[in-house]
Structure 1
């Protein structure tokens, strides 16, 4: 996941390569995951938005806290916001899947 966050940070600079110009024939809500229609058509937008809100270090801190709290019982509440980075990571995974699908469809 750490490598995914770093790759996503570099990916946010890309423009237009995986953008969908035409509306797909079967546009199902399940195929989009958590992505909005604009994010579905331009999946790199998800990475730009995520890294505009959070620095890569904040995502890595979130991952470390998630691992820490998943290892067993804890006596104190987590520090910081865990929901925001989690939602952005899930959307980035959905967007990455779209990018992989579209890149393989081009070949």
Structure 2
């Protein structure tokens, strides 16, 4: 859920697909083979469709070299507004995003 949702971050803006605002409508995961303990995996998520209210993301979990696919996912999301009481919530990477936005001069981003 989090790995596929993160794929929406490049299109997010205040009031449109904010990170904490969407809800999962369906999440279908097909496990193809077990991941050996200690294996480093690569996650790939791609936004297939995004609109005002609905989005669909597909993803895979593979070996680092991409030769082995461990699982596939199809994630459908519904956009929902972020509630005012949730806007003050902070996660460890918020400060990093704020620094990046400030460096780019991006004034469209909200202060987190």
Question: Structure 1-normalised TM-score?
Answer: 0.24
The structure where strand makes up a greater share of residues is: 2
Relative contact order higher in (CA < 8 Å, ≥ 6 apart):
1
The structure where helix makes up a greater share of residues is: 1
Question: Structure 2-normalised TM-score?
Answer: 0.24
